[in-house]
């Protein structure tokens, strides 16, 4: 069964460093998403991406964040200058055009020290 | 600000017992309601997506109902098994927007 994959599973970085989190969505899907969950809190929407552009973003998704689909298969989330409060589990999800159901990856745990 | 509330936040049941939890969401501008099952160290797994008032969906021993007029959904598990132990997340779309707002989840522990 096709699945969404994410790499790395755990990333440790120092405050101020740039990180890139990678996702490979399901191949025929058209809509792509990033979410995050800070430990003990709700899963929060960050951004949705369709037709090679951002379709919606939350107030969390400020200028420090960017997304890209560089080669038609990968979908990346970049954080330019990480802060301690960016430590969270980051989930990628994708869905097909004719379906509401989003398929989630296993997440990347980002730890900023 | 959209708020999705789930209760209880944590639940322990004996194997074989049936159980249910609640998700409440804003009743205006409803678009879709999602239930996910999330086991530790795994991807959240979609259980149901419901879009119409009165929808009832079933997958094995798990079923869900939807009331969009009053803004709630119930998830039922019949004859709970230890493998049902997981966090059950509810999430809500409004107005066709891509953004999905999640509840905090109900963490279910089934005791053998």
| Interchain proximity B99–A3, CB inside 8 Å | no
Distance from CA of B74 to the nearest CA of A (A): 18
Strands A10-13 and A19-24, how do they pair?
unpaired
pLDDT(A90) > 90: yes
The predicted structure's pLDDT at residue A2: 81
Distance CA A99, CA B51 (A): 11
Residue among B43, B103, B105 whose CB faces A105 most closely: B43
Q: B6, B25, B7, B21: which is closest to B72 by C-alpha?
A: B25
Q: How many CB atoms lie within 10 A of CB B112?
A: 8
**What's residue B1's pLDDT?**
62
Residues of B in Cβ contact (< 8 Å) with A41: 104
Residue percentage of chain A with pLDDT more than 70: 100
Average pLDDT, chain A: 94
pLDDT digits (tens, 9 = 90+) for B63-109: 999 999 999 999 999 999 999 999 999 999 887 677 889 999 999 99
- Contact call for A100 and B93, based on CB within 8 A: yes
pLDDT in tens, A1-43: 789 999 999 999 999 999 999 999 999 899 999 999 999 999 9
Looking up tokens 């007029």 gives: B69
Within 10 Å of residue A43's Cβ, how many Cβ atoms? Answer: 23
pLDDT digits (tens, 9 = 90+) for B41-59: 889 999 999 999 999 999 9
Supply φ then ψ for residue B83, to 5 degrees: -70, -10
Which of B36, B86, B99 is best to mutate for the A interface (most A CBs within 10 A)?
B99
Per-residue model confidence (pLDDT) at position A38: 95
CA B104, CA A11: separation in Å to the nearest integer?
A: 24
Q: Which residue has the tokens 């899963």?
A: A43
How confident is residue B2, by pLDDT bands cut at 50, 70 and 90? Answer: confident
């Amino acid at each position: 069964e096709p699945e969404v994959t994410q790499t790395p599973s755990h990333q440790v970085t120092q405050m101020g460093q740039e990180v890139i989190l990678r996702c490979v969505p399901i191949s025929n899907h058209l809509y792509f998403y990033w979410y995050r969950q800070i430990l003990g809190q709700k899963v929060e929407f960050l951004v949705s991406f369709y037709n090679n552009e951002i379709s919606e973003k939350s107030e969390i998704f400020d200028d420090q964040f960017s997304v890209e689909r560089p080669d038609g298969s990968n979908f990346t989330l970049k954080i330019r200058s990480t802060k301690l409060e960016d430590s969270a589990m980051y989930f990628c999800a994708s869905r097909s055009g004719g379906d509401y159901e989003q398929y989630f990856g296993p997440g990347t745990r980002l730890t900023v020290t | 600000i959209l708020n999705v509330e789930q209760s209880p936040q944590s639940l322990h049941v004996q194997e074989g017992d049936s159980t249910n939890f609640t998700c409440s969401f804003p009743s205006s501008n409803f678009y879709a309601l999602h239930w996910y099952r999330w086991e530790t160290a795994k991807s959240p797994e979609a259980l149901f997506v419901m879009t119409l008032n009165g929808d009832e969906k079933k997958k094995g021993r798990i079923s869900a109902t939807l009331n969009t007029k009053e803004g709630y959904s119930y998830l039922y598990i019949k004859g709970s098994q230890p493998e049902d132990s997981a966090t059950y997340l509810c999430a809500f779309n409004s107005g066709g927007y891509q953004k999905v707002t999640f509840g905090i989840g109900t963490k279910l522990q089934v005791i053998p």
